[in-house]
Amino acid sequence: MNRREFARLVGVGAAVPFLPAGYVWPRATALPAAPAAPDEKFWLAVREQFVMPPDLAMLNAANLCPSSAPVLETLYRNTKDMDRDPSFDNRVKMGEGRERTRRLLADFLRVTPEEIVITRNTSESNNLVSSGLDLKPGDEVVIFADNHPSNNTAWKEKAKRFGFTVKVIPETNPHPGFTHYVEAASRAMTPQTKVLAFTHLTSTVGDLLPAAELCRLARERGVLTLVDGAQTFGLMDVDLSAIQPDFYSGSAHKWACGPKENGVLFINRSAQPKIWASIYSAYPGAVGVSKTFEAFGQRDEPAMIAFGEALAFQTKIGRAAIEARSRELTQALVAGLRTIDGVKIWTSADPSRTGAVVSFQPGSLDVRKLSAALYQNERIGGATRAGQDRPGVRFSPHFYNTHAEIDRAVAAIKKYMARGV
Ligand SMILES: Cc1ncc(COP(=O)(O)O)c(C=O)c1O
């Protein structure tokens, strides 16, 4: 029986269930060296490193990014290696690969490997913080309304259990300027406040918060900071040595274009004595806080190694170049959306107050129907936000997108706004 016959037998149509050894995902060109001033030709070559079909315009980086072919190959090669020979002896090198990823993460965020925990995603990282701090009745945690549930729901649920209180700073739209956030946090914090938890770049409408200023203010008041970096890790050239949070969280599968179920939690050296590990098991990390905090039992080390490859891939292109490219595409998108009658953009008109997340309300169009039409008729993938609070569509372009895709997205919105869905 050949592969095709076997595939038919197990009901997966004509798909080939197993990849040949040393499989290389087809791509037209190798990743060229990044020029000093990358042009559209370079970004098209970057796009070719991804296995998405050319007609699919994915504008949903804030939710889930594709991994590049080199990352997929690393994941596949290491998974195959592990399953070919799962002995402890063969897996020694996997542990070394995991530590290499830790070092790459530390370089990426400009901190030390001793402060890095490789988690499974931002949700887990945020929850390891809210579960691990010694908080008791009388203590207070200050959060921002636009934080993700893995931050805000977690604090509120744990408050019920441990007796501390949670104070929510309401959101203000549009972004009222950086000073607003610092003043709002300053007013909200009291001598009882132990933690300030905020989102670096919000997933709701893409508001950028003044992370360094908020962390400095909290530090002056003896308050710990949790910075949710789900929307900045892998998008912005984040420098934690400048921001100086106590905790920073991120997911591999978002802007970093890494494998699924990998994430990062940075725990500042000074905060390490103040937090308990929530999971105690075998197979911790090898250095610093990971020796006590990262003993989560058996891990998917091939995925952890592929996470490192994703960081290396972005570093090769250039972190600043990636941020600049994503911002440039976003500004082109915003400029296009602004020309469409009836579109209300929730994201700040000031590029310095945002990143690469754009939310807008397409007039009175049914957002779910619009989203389905965008995907089915136009091959454009975005996200939707239901409810009364700044509802609409969210587009989040990344460095694998092209100006042609942005133009297509704007033209499609224009078309449906004019004729309905
Ligand atoms: C700001 C923010 N925090 C946390 C998360 C959770 O990320 P994950 O699902 O990777 O845990 C998200 C996901 O969209 C997010 O936008």
Q: Which class for 94: exposed (0-12), middle (13-18), buried (19 or more C-beta within 10 A)?
A: middle
Give residue-wise pLDDT tens across range 356-369. 999 999 999 999 99
pLDDT, averaged across the chain = 95
| Ligand 1 atom closest to residue 150's alpha carbon, by position in its atom list | 4
- Does residue 10 have a pLDDT over 50? no
CB 40 within 8 A of CB 58: no
Q: Which atom of ligand 1 is nearest to the CA of 263?
A: 10
* pLDDT over 60 at 14, yes or no: no
Give the distance (Å) from ligand 1 centre to CA of residue 37: 32
Closest CA to 184 of 213, 224, 152, 204: 213
C-alpha 230 – ligand 1 centre gap (Å): 5
Q: How far is the CA of 322 from the centre of ligand 1 (A)?
A: 20
pLDDT digits (tens, 9 = 90+) for 307-328: 999 999 999 999 999 999 999 9
Task: Give the Cα-Cα-Cα angle 356, 362, 363 (nearest 5 degrees).
Answer: 145
> Residue 17 C-alpha to ligand 1 middle, in angstroms?
31
pLDDT in tens, 386-411: 999 999 999 999 999 999 999 999 99
Enumerate the β-bridge partners of residue 193.
140
Nearest CA to ligand 1 atom 16: 203
- Cα–Cα–Cα angle for 279, 261, 394, nearest 5°? 125
> 260 C-alpha vs ligand 1 centroid, how far in Å?
12
- Cα of 376 vs centre of ligand 1, distance in Å, is 26
| Closest-lying ligand 1 atom to the alpha carbon of residue 120 | 11
- Kindly report whether the peptide bond that precedes residue 32 is cis, defined as omega within 30 degrees of 0: no
Which residues, other chains included, contact 358 with Cβ-Cβ below 8 Å and sequence gap of 6+?
A: 206, 330, 333, 334, 337, 345, 347, 394, 395, 396
Residue 123 Cα: closest atom of ligand 1: 11
For residue 78, CA distances in Å to 72, 73, 84, 87 come to 10, 8, 10, 14
* pLDDT band for position 29 (cuts 50, 70, 90): confident
Centroid of ligand 1 to alpha carbon of 363 (angstroms): 27
More confident residue, 114 or 3: 114
What are 159-168's pLDDT values in tens digits?
Answer: 999 999 999 9
Residue 12 pLDDT > 70: no
Tell whether the model's pLDDT for residue 17 goes beyond 70: no
Confidence of residue 18 (pLDDT cuts 50, 70, 90): low
Which residues, judged by CB distance below 6 Å to any ligand atom, belong to the binding site of ligand 1?
63, 121-123, 148, 150, 199, 203, 228, 230-231, 251
Mutate to test the pocket of ligand 1, among 118, 123, 151, 247 (most ligand atoms within 8 A of CB): 123
Question: Ligand 1 pocket check: which of 125, 148, 232 to mutate, most ligand atoms within 8 Å of Cβ?
Answer: 148
346 CA → ligand 1 middle, Å: 20
Tell me, in angstroms, the distance from the centre of ligand 1 to residue 22's CA. 33
Residue 39 CA to ligand 1 center (angstroms) comes to 31
Task: Specify whether the CB–CB gap between 359 and 346 falls below 8 A.
Answer: yes
Whether pLDDT at 23 is above 90: no
Looking at the predicted structure, is the pLDDT value of residue 4 above 50?
A: no
Under DSSP, is residue 111 helix (H, G, I), strand (E, B) or coil?
A: coil
Q: To test ligand 1's pocket by mutation, which of 143, 150, 151 has the most ligand atoms within 8 angstroms of CB?
A: 150
CA distance 328 to 348: 15
The pTM assigned to this predicted structure is: 0.95
| For the CA of 124, the nearest atom of ligand 1 | 11
How many whole angstroms separate alpha carbon 327 and alpha carbon 246? Answer: 27
Instruction: Summarize pLDDT for 362-388 with one digit per residue, the tens.
Output: 999 999 999 999 999 999 999 999 999
Q: Ligand 1, residues 63, 119, 122, 236: which to mutate, most atoms within 8 A of Cβ?
A: 122
Total residues belonging to the chain: 421
